[in-house]
Amino acid sequence: MQSFEPYNEQAEEALVGAFFLDEQLIKECTIKPEQLYSSRLRQIFSAIRSLDEKGKPIDIISIIEELGLDRLQEVGGVSYLNQLAGSVPTTANFHFYEKLVKEYDQKRKTIHIAEKMMDQAWWGEIGQTLKEGIHDLMAIQDEEAMDDDGNIQQSLVNLYEYCEQDHGEMVGIPSGFSDLDKLTGGFRDSDLVIIGARPSMGKTAFALNLAVQAAVKDVSVIFSLEMPKIQLLKRMAGLIGRIDSLKMQNPRKEFQEEDWDRFSTAIGDLSNRNLYIFDKAGMDVPYIWSTVRKLRREYGEQKRMLVVIDYLQLIQGDRKYHKTREAEISEISRALKTMARELKITVIALSQLSRGVESRKDKRPILSDLRESGQIEQDADLIAFLYRDDYYSNQTPKKNRIELILAKHRNGPIGTIELGFRKEYGLFLNL
């Protein structure tokens, strides 16, 4: 498919010509040769970078020597080099030219991806086409994010304004559990929170408690890769209405009049909360990211948002880019942290733990029990594990209690918190 490719020849010539006036600019320049559209300017720019790496001066003579006679003719000869050298009266606008060159490079890449998607959409599998297209477009966006100049002035102003305000003890989204909130100050935006547990410990129930609590004043978004939407809503209605889960299996038969009253009240309560549930099969990070971005645009940046993913190991990776499942999980973990920062949201991802827990005498989880990737431990701002002693022993004095073990906390202390757990309702309680 033939198409017009946008580029700005004057900006590219001004960028390369500036090095003749100030050769030190090459050390500041973040442009790569392949980002230039003009073939001859790419060659000249490559020669300039090569000279800088070798510690040689950058001028017309050294560039002629670096290019050699054959390549010199390809780029337009000595006359074109002289033209470049005299085309830029000042280097004051160098970074403006640099920005223009990057923007046009991004435009061309976007057009190429769009054309590729159009071709593949005719004959290929549409799900794979969309997945690859979103992956490639996000890569362009990641390049743009790397262009931060590191200037701290505006951040210092923001910091001063932040310190002038009274934030109280709760700086993030409250969990609803007083001891946990004392340690964390609430779940903060831009944080990736990992909640790990062995099967049947109650991690989905705990996540639902957090989501229901947050949806009162903030926004809760649940991505359920294991359980259908109606099943989650059933569990939420049960914990809000204090309805036994056994009764919820066959309400028409088991419900008494008071159960119907509680159930109706719970349904009304849920309908008034800022709660979204997505249960599409085979969800991947691009789907999650685009869905959350849409909601973020809808609510604006002033509204706090809690995103729950149940659970991490069920997110689909892309084997095209990663050979092992561990590499896939590492990439997924990094992407979730990046999403949290970019969209200014809290991401809570549930995680399975390895079977090694079961072989130990003390079955309380530790960081090394996180399955398939040490990258999860590195990316997470907060890691908490759930442990129920009554799961392993009927004789325990800690019946209906659950330990929440904060094993990593980037912004505060670690420790263990005890909560009450009414398993029949899926309800967690302050003790």
Cβ distance 274 to 218 under 8 Å?
Answer: yes
Q: What whole-number distance in Å separates Cα of residue 393 and Cα of residue 410?
A: 33
Residue type, 88: V
In terms of C-beta density within 10 A (0-12 exposed, 13-18 middle, 19 or more buried), how is residue 316 classed?
Answer: middle
Go through 131-170 and write b for each residue having 16 or more CB atoms within 10 A of its CB, e for each that does not. bbbbbbbbeeeeeeeeeeeeeeeeeeeeeeeeeeeeeeee
* pLDDT tens per residue, range 323-370: 677 778 888 888 889 889 888 999 999 988 877 777 777 778 888 777
Provide the pLDDT for residue 2.
Answer: 47
**pLDDT grade for 373, boundaries at 50, 70 and 90:** low
Token pair listed for 199: 């099967």
**Across-strand partners of 402?**
419
* pLDDT tens per residue, range 28-46: 788 888 888 988 898 999 8
Its pTM stands at 0.67
**Residue of 333, 341, 348 lying closest to 301 (CA atoms):** 341
Break the chain into its structural domains and give their ranges.
Answer: 9-145, 167-430
Q: What percent of the chain has pLDDT over 70?
A: 91
Q: Which spans in 215-302 are helix H?
A: 229-241, 245-249, 251-254, 257-271, 285-299
SS3 303: coil
Give the list of residues 6+ apart from residue 122 with CB closer than 8 angstroms, or none.
none
Residue type, 30: T
What is the average pLDDT across 281-303? 84
Query: Listing from the earlier edge strand, what are the strands of the sheet with 427-430?
Result: 275-278, 219-224, 305-310, 346-352, 192-197, 382-387, 401-409, 415-422, 427-430
Q: What whole-number distance in Å separates Cα of residue 179 and Cα of residue 416?
A: 10
- Is the pLDDT at 69 greater than 50, yes or no? yes
* Residue 169, φ and ψ in degrees, nearest 5: -80, -25
- Is the pLDDT at 304 greater than 70, yes or no? yes
Q: What whole-number distance in Å separates Cα of residue 46 and Cα of residue 33?
A: 6
Residue type, 249: Q
Q: In 20-148, where do the E strands start and end? A: none
- Is the pLDDT at 239 greater than 50, yes or no? yes
Residue 364: count of CB within 10 angstroms of its CB: 15
Q: What whole-number distance in Å separates Cα of residue 305 and Cα of residue 382?
A: 17
Tell me the DSSP string of 386-413.
EE-HHHH-TT-S-TTEEEEEEEEETTS-
CATH topology of domain 167-430: Rossmann fold (3.40.50)
- Is the pLDDT at 295 greater than 60, yes or no? yes
Q: What whole-number distance in Å separates Cα of residue 427 and Cα of residue 416?
A: 19
* pLDDT tens per residue, range 108-121: 888 888 888 888 88
Looking at domain 9-145, its CATH superfamily turns out to be DNAb Helicase; Chain A (1.10.860.10)
Cis ω before 311 (30° cut-off from 0)? yes
Q: What percent of the chain has pLDDT over 90?
A: 5
SS3 309: strand
- Is the pLDDT at 371 greater than 70, yes or no? no
Cβ distance 240 to 267 under 8 Å?
Answer: no
